[in-house]
Structure 1
Amino acid sequence: MNSFAEALKRKGLEAIRKFPKADLHNHFVLGGDRDYLERVTGRKIEPLRCPLKSMSEMHAWNEANLGATFNTPEMRRELIQATFHQAKKDGVAVLEIGEDVWGLGEYFHNDMNALTEAFTAAQRDIAPNTELRLQIGLSRHCPIEYLENCLTYFWGNKAFYSIDLYGDELAQPIENFKNIYRRAKREGLVLKAHVGEWGTAQDVQRAVEILELDEVQHGIAAAEDASVMRFLAENHIRLNITPSSNVLLGRVPSMKEHPIQKLYRSGVEVTVNSDDVLIFDSDVSKEYLRLYESGCLTAEELDAIRLAGLK
């Protein structure tokens, strides 16, 4: 294939995989190659086939399909390795993943060198051509004081590229995380947060303003308000979108109707990403192909999005 757009038009998945892509919204615990994990554990993890109705149903799927099998330091490392096997297979040239702050104590005995080496060694040994951008993960469900205590191990470590806040958008007010994000900004981290997956367009703008975000994970609710889209476009706030996840979690009626089209054509910077490969069968190449096949975006538009994500 001479171009990514041509590969999309011919609907050649393997050809699409040969072109470099970014995956800037990948939760590595669920972001790995299922064939590799089956070889390691003997356990076949089947993806979702029908939309869920809530995040609690997603957590139930997680418990039924992963459960306690991977809740050991050894298996945590296997999940990291599985994600790099997936990235290599899918032509991911830039991969942004990282550990939750609580995982440092749970899986790495508060040894920061062990944590960072688990990621960098997997990248070096499995996918050396993939750029790793290591991320600090925060759960909205954790008390602020607990998160601040965990973060004392992370501050000042130049191995980390970004920080991300995830979980139930209504778990606690976004203002509670302001001091953490001010510190993260002083640390030189790229500031990201999950918002606008379940909340409103106004929630997206408030989170950007209060936390001084550089990027938003999801952010699809912004398409409901033209003024919020203008705000994002004018301030160059990028949305790292995961289409299949949005459809299978019932946030979007279909791929064809996905708001990524409206956002992109309104001048908002967007990227296409996987989210949770094991749940949503959503490797990045499949996401591009699904968006094209549904008629949501043209091959040329998708190629422009791909190239922008690599910058």
Structure 2
Amino acid sequence: MEDFIAALKERNIEKIKSCPKADLHNHFVLGGSRQYLHQFTGVKIEPVRSPLKSMNEMHEWNRVNIGEKFEGTEMRKTLIRAAFEQAKEDGVTLLEIGEDVWGLQEYFNNNIDELIEAFTEAQREISPETKLRLQIGLLRHCSIGYLEECLSHFWGNKAFYSIDLYGDELAQPIENFKGIYRRAKSEGLRLKAHIGEWGTAEDVRRAVEELELDEVQHGIAEINDESVVRFLADNHIRLNITPTSNVMLGRVQSMSDHPIGRLYRSGVDVTINSDDILIFDSDVSKEYLRLYEAGCLSAEELDSIRRSGLEPR
């Protein structure tokens, strides 16, 4: 504890990296080490330098820098390995990542054991000190029937810790996913969804109620409604927040204005995470230091958040 607080106050990024941290909101395709990818593929990936104007700009960046250069099973496995290399470099001792359900057929021949082994082998070989929580990813724009078909390969497998819904928040009503989330709950999975990055505070409340969520990825829109802030605090709903991503996508004006400080002081359980490191240059240690330097949270508050993210749930 004292080492982390001192490292922040000294603005010593290497010491910050040496302290244990969790990364509970990391899209592994975009969440790996750029140095590792350059070394093993020759592809040099530069992050964006100024805020993007839309999600379409982000998708185009992804298409040009990742999609056209990392196709096929071996490249997919390289991206997985890069995520563990990044965790090792950044002192991340708890990492929650996983594959999109459509990726099982696309990259792993509908062989769930092959998918699981790709992640667990990378963890064992590259960063054995990092605890892996495997996650099932769902794209919101996919039809429910298609998602249910894909999920038939995942149900009953105890290797998975959580399920997460992401993508365009307006693609279809959140209620459409109730059946999937009821099944996921019966499977013992921790229930998560991307809500409140682009939508409203009421969207956050409705998603938590309809899907019985344990955690929300982003959720920053709730700051606009005190009743929703209280609802999340009272119900112990965790928000896995990605500050630099929020700023670079124009959801927050600046790091000093980021609502994470107000949410934390209102009693909401928050964690600090990377989101898309390759796009936003947002590894977890940098996120902590940026929030401290911006005056958004004190070193002591940031250490409390760090320790909370590492606690068993």
Give the shorter-chain TM-score range: over 0.9
Q: Give the whole-Å Cα distance in 2 for the aligned partners of 1:84 and 1:139.
A: 23
The secondary structure found in structure 1 opposite 2:267 is coil
What's the CA shift for 1:262?
1.0
Shift of 1:67: 2.8
RMSD: 0.8
Spell out the pairing of 1:1-311 with structure 2 (5 A cutoff).
2-311=2-311
Paired with 2:18 and 2:293, the residues of 1 have a C-alpha distance of 19
SS in structure 2 of the partner of residue 66 of structure 1: helix
CA distance in 2, matches of 1:259, 1:111: 42
Distance 1:95 1:225 in 2: 31
- Which ranges in structure 2 are unaligned for 5 or more consecutive residues? none
Match of 2:135, SS state, is strand
Q: SS at 2:255's partner residue?
A: coil
Deviations 1:137-182 (A, max 9, x none): 0000100000000000000000000000000000000000000000
Q: Deviations over 1:86-119 (max 9, x none)?
A: 0001000100000000000000000011000000
The whole-number CA distance in structure 2 between the counterparts of 1:79 and 1:289 is 26
Provide the rounded CA distance (Å) in 1 between the counterparts of 2:142 and 2:175.
Answer: 14
SS at match of 2:67: coil
* Aligned-partner Cα distance in 2 for 1:128–1:23: 15
Give deviations 1:215-256, integer Å, cap 9, x for gaps: 000000011110000000000000000000000000000000
* AA aligned opposite 1:91: G
Q: Distance in 2 between matches of 1:245 and 1:96?
A: 18
SS at 1:193 equivalent: strand
Supply the distance in 1 between the matched residues of 2:80 and 2:132 (Cα, whole angstroms). 12
Identity %: 73
Gaps of 5+ in 1: none
* Letter matched to residue 302 of structure 2: L
Query: 2:219, 2:48 → 1: CA distance?
Result: 23
CA distance in 1, matches of 2:17, 2:33: 14
* Offset at residue 2 of structure 1 (A): 4.5
Distance in 2 between the 1:215 and 1:70 partners?
30
Deviation at 1:41, TM superposition (A): 1.4
The 2-side partners of 1:55 and 1:144 are apart by 23
- Secondary structure at the aligned position of 1:256 is classed as helix
Q: Give the Cα–Cα distance (whole angstroms) in 2 for the partners of residues 191 and 67 of structure 1.
A: 28
CA distance in 2, matches of 1:61, 1:113: 32
Alpha-carbon distance in 2 for matches of 1:113, 1:91: 28
User: Within 2, Cα distance between the matches of 1:183 and 1:98?
Assistant: 19
Moved runs in structure 1, 4+ residues, more than 3 A? none
Looking at structure 2, the residues matched to 161 and 7 of structure 1 have their Cα atoms a distance apart, in angstroms, of 32
**Superposition TM-score, scaled by structure 1 size:** 0.99
Letter of the structure 1 residue corresponding to residue 82 of structure 2: A
- Alpha-carbon distance between aligned partners in 2 of 1:201 and 1:121, rounded to the nearest angstrom: 40
* TM-score (structure 2 length as normaliser): 0.99
2:161 partner letter: Y
* CA distance in structure 1 between the partners assigned to 2:230 and 2:184 by the alignment: 26
Q: CA deviation at 1:68?
A: 1.8
Q: Using the TM superposition, give the Cα deviation of residue 274 of structure 1 relative to its aligned residue in structure 2, in angstroms.
A: 0.1
Structure-1 separation of matches of 2:155 and 2:68:
30
Q: Which amino acid aligns with 1:177?
A: F
